Structure 1
């Protein structure tokens, strides 16, 4: 659930608490879509680079980026892993090279969806256009296309005892979701 709004006929990307701007989906709406692809059963997931919640509450995410994972399973055995690379300072930073070992994953590839500066993000596309106050028809079409998440196939980079390994480049301020068949 979100406390968010949709405001018509407002300046482009002008407000907070909104899921779209002038009919173009914002990246936060895509993050909600990633949550919707996850299963109802939470399963164990750990990250060696995840900042503990008590430190986030106390100090924020400033000394190091928070690179974390949340995993679920569906009743039919599909595994979903959501990854994030977050820092309070919304400035460029290094891409995280995430090695993901998934126990209980069947052999084969995974499906991946991304929301970052280059994927599923109309805001950064708008910025690259020069932040036009009134995008023309062609620009509007480009913004709509940039807002759509693309399903990608991601090949496993190896196997672990009883599972599969994947290596993922995760840009700062990026979110990714992998789904794959479990046992």
Structure 2
């Protein structure tokens, strides 16, 4: 039987992909932000009955889905499942949430350093997604998103050669 989804758990969301097939359906990391409780218990396959709300992390930004259903077998677009190889996917049991939260916080701290978040729009979006994740872990804290640096600004990484490159 699959564990019950809970707010703050990390799951995989399966993107829908495009109808013409140009963009395939892919697994994306997501945080559970809401669990409906109007239906009782799991179905015969041990899957959650009802919907969960997700904050989905895509390379292009964050997507919110308030009506995702669990699908541990077919992984159809628009559904969620436990990450492959995770304890939750293999068996019901406790997950070391403090260790997972500490890992997310560490990546957030690294991504927030000069030369990372301010390198380009993608890196800033990655930081802001991690900021959202940490604000969820913190409880009701409002995320402190970072705006683009001023015009003409050069990040440390863009203006400094890598340590392995000798300068004349």
TM-score of Structure 1 vs Structure 2, range by shorter chain: under 0.3
The higher relative CO (CA closer than 8 Å, separation ≥ 6) is in 1
> TM-score when scaled to structure 1?
0.25
Largest Rg, 1 or 2: 2
Higher strand share: 1
Higher helix share: 2
> TM-score when scaled to structure 2?
0.27
